[in-house]
Amino acid sequence: MMNFKGKLAHKFAESPLLQLRLPAWRSRLMALVILGCFGVLLGRSFYLQILNTDFLQEKGESRYRRDLEVSASRGRIADRNGDVLAISTPMKSVWAIPADARLTPQQLRELATLLELDGKELSRKLASEKSFIFLQRQIPPDVADKVAALKLPGIGQNKEYRRYYPTGEMTAHMVGFTGVDDKGLEGVELAYQSQLLGRAGSRSVIKDRRGQIVEDVGSIKPPQDGKDIRLALDAKIQYLAYSQLKQAIIDNKAKAGGAVVIDAKTGEILALANWPTYNPNNREHLSGAQLRNRAVTDTFEPGSTLKPFTIALALESGKVRFDTIINCAPGKLTIGNATISDAHPHGALTVAQVIQKSSNVGAAKIAATMTPQQMGEMFDAAGFGQISRLGFPGEVGGRVRPWKHWRPIEQATMSYGHGISVSLMQLARAYSVFARDGDLIPLTLTRSDALPLTGTPVFSQQTAREVRAMLEMAVQAGGTAPKAQIPGYRVAGKTGTAHKLEGGQYANKYVSSFVGFAPASDPRLIVAIMIDEPGGLKHFGGDVAGPVFAGVMGGALRTLGIPPDAPLQVAQTPAAKEKL
């Protein structure tokens, strides 16, 4: 029996089914391949863990390390004396990593209440697929501390800054304001954006599995704060311009207005005010009218304030002299099918009296002695039709039609400021040719410690001084602006009263203006005033804008300590009516 079993086992072992069909070298090859694969894996593991650890380190750190932005402080804006007009105050922003922010309903309600957000809006933000989101920007530090006390997973905070304007609406149109991202949107904040804006830095932190920061690894790139800006503006003179303008708008029931004060020696803008205005610290309920920087963005027909330029050109070209007689009777002048008239008829006037009495007929007759090309080139040389290049957003250059297309009636009306548009800033700058010795100077928003400027010649010294004497007559007894007189100072200036255009037609609405300088013996300041649509009983520039000029100029001269150049007593004379 045992023998039988042994034979059977022998036959089974020799069965063809159990014989090796593959060659012996194949099995050896497979063994070598498997060993080779293990060798590659060991080599790759050695490379990643010993020789090159960056890859695994990066993958690991991405699960617990975050690079956070560190805000830079925006540069301060100060007036010429160092008084702060705009400064950045520390605030906090609350952010979230949505993947880690797993909050309970109770935590959601508490967070929404502190951030003053709707619960649904907060839930929507936390459901975002983004890796990083802001939940609320620029919240007060005490609120941020309450949020931090909740110790919510995936919720963190950054330090940032919010712009604060100590002088509020008084300097709003000059300084402007920034948005929530700390970028300038108006005024100097926008004009000097590249200098004021600093460069944000970054820091690296380690967070736990709940998203809480457990370690500050260190700074990657330190923040660079923005540069400070020192404006030419004088806060005291700015307050004078702002308060005087505001009161004039109220007293005359006017729609709007603007005021500009310029240093005639340096071209520095010492004040720029507009009404209506706004509070840059609270801009929740603003209209476009409040934001408009009317002194540089709005244009108007300057009216009689342009007559001195026509007279100066005629003097310069030798067409008339200071005492040349111009027959203005009977107070009307017909050119083609149009008639020019004076508000009050005059007879024979000297050229100086044409300015003093503000005769349209006299100005038109003097303009007729010159060619359109001469007048057009003079307007261009005086800066009309060109922007002042201050960098203000929306700055305009006004409109002067090409002289080649002027008709005789257009040349006549432009001689007394109709058919041409200017901005208040343009007009103030143009008057520097009379406040100085005939040269036009560039303007600057920032303080200049350089020597007095040398401008671009427009008129000769003799012409500028003769026109200056005429402008001084306009403020004296018998002139159109005795209300612009200032006790103790000689004043020179010109009134303007122009109808407003509506739908291509002149309406029964006015723009009243006055531009002048003082002391007339050695002009230091130029002040330009514009009142839009005075709705009271008066609308002439001498009655409406003249007193504002006197208040601003008188206060500014005393603020700067400019010595008087005239007796303190002002002659009491009845106000003369301003001509159109």
Catalytic site positions: 304
User: Among residues 140, 135, 52, which one has the least CA distance to residue 97?
Assistant: 135
Q: In sequence order, which residues have a C-beta less than 8 Å from that of residue 33 and are 6 or more positions away?
A: none
Nearest-angstrom CA–CA distance, 280 and 181:
15
Q: Please compute, for residue 517, the number of CA atoms within 13 A of its CA located in the half-sphere on the CB side.
A: 28
For tokens 């209506």, name the residue: 276
CA separation for the pair 151, 144 (Å, rounded): 12
Altogether, the residues listed in the chain come to a count of: 580
Secondary structure letter of residue 389 according to DSSP: -
**Token match 């005075």: residue?**
534
Q: 262 is written with which tokens?
A: 């310029």
Residue 505: how many other CB atoms lie within 10 Å: 8
Peptide bond just before 482 cis, omega within 30 deg: no
Quote the CA–CA distance of 369 and 165 in Å, as a whole number. 54
| One-letter identity of residue 132 | F
Question: Do the beta carbons of residue 508 and residue 501 sit within 8 Å?
Answer: no
Candidates 187, 383, 394; CA nearest to 277 is 187
What is residue 74's DSSP assignment? P
Tell me if the bond preceding 276 is cis, omega within 30° of 0. yes
Pairing mode, strands 229-230 and 77-78 = parallel
Helical segments of 252-350, H only: 288-291, 294-297, 307-316
313 residue type, one letter? L
How does DSSP classify residue 450? S
Q: Pairing between strand 456-457 and 155-164?
A: unpaired
As a whole number of Å, the CA-based R_g of the chain is 39
